[in-house]
Amino acid sequence: MSHEIRDTGSVPTFYSNQVLESERFYLDAVGSVRQPLAVVCGGRERCGPDYRIDRADFPFHSIEFVARGKGTLILKGRTEALYPGRVFSYGPGVPHLIAAEGPEPLVKYFVDFTGPTAAKILRDNGLAPGTAVRIASPDTVLRIFDDLIAAGCSGTRQGPAICAKLVELLVLKIAEAGLVDDPYRSAAFATYQSCRQYIRDHFPTLRTLEEIAESCHVDEAYLCRLFKRFDSQSPYQYLTQLKMAQAARFLQRNDKLIKQVAFDLGFSDPFHFSRAFKKVFGLSPAAFRKLR
């Protein structure tokens, strides 16, 4: 069982330690009073069975998204069930309780933000603090959270501004997805989520669709149908996207040869790696490295 906690920036006191694994960032944006909206922190948490957050108040506006597992949510005294595809928001003056339940770990994404326009953006898009909804297109939300984590962990000067724009996009996409009134078909989505997370966790060593399907204990055709239903790309395209994003990060440093980067990402042939990289970024790994 993994117990890896990866935090970028000073760790806030309100971060829970009841997690099995996490990837979180902290931007210390509280002082950005001139900005209409500023992201403070965010990330992904795989919660332990004892996970329980019980707060009477919270200083920032927050959006959370359940990717896997089940739990219980109490917002302003109203009890809601947590399951994959559930989005909820809270903020200053909104008491909330979040608790995991069941044998499968609760996996959720979150982003905390502040600023004079934060509350209005949420209210205008049906996500006023204290709201819990289901969404019809969870893959869109997952993509934006992935981009948020990448921008928040980047350490670049542009990172905070990118995060702020991504929060605005996140709220708009949640509103666009609409509400689902019937119970969410959680079995197929949970399988999709499990496979997607496996690819994300093991992409450096995975090579083929067959390896993904075998490791996830599903049929290749069924795996492709799941991604067609819940995502906008195939499982192999998602694998390639992760590999190339990691390759770009490696190439921004000069401590590795291009053929070593290819090998580290599961490519036995450096020429195959270069073709795949150029297909994604429009230029060769060598040309990309020169851009530094």
Q: Confirm whether pTM is higher than 0.75.
A: no
Q: What are the pLDDT digits (tens) for 57-93?
A: 999 999 999 999 999 999 988 899 999 989 999 999 9
Q: Which residue ranges make up each domain of the chain?
A: 5-177, 186-290
What is 186-290's CATH number? 1.10.10.60
pLDDT score, position 136: 74
74 torsion bin: left (phi>0), alpha (psi -120 to 50), beta (else): beta
Model confidence over 207-233: pLDDT tens digits? 999 999 999 999 999 999 998 887 778
Q: What pLDDT, on the 0 to 100 scale, is given for residue 144? A: 95
- Can you list the residues of the chain whose pLDDT is less than 50? 1-2, 180-184
Tokens 């530094």, residue located: 292
CA distance 268 to 250: 17
Closest CA to 39 of 141, 90, 145, 115: 115
In a 13 Å sphere around the CA of 41, the CA atoms on its Cβ side amount to 19
Within a 10 A sphere around the Cβ of 256, how many other Cβ atoms? 15
Q: What is the CATH number of domain 5-177?
A: 2.60.120.280
Concatenating the DSSP letter of every residue in 83-124 gives -TTEEEEE-TT--EEEEEESSSPPEEEEEEEESTTHHHHHHH
**Number of helical H runs and strand E runs in the chain:** 10, 11
Alpha-helical runs (H) found in 178-257: 186-202, 209-216, 220-230, 235-251
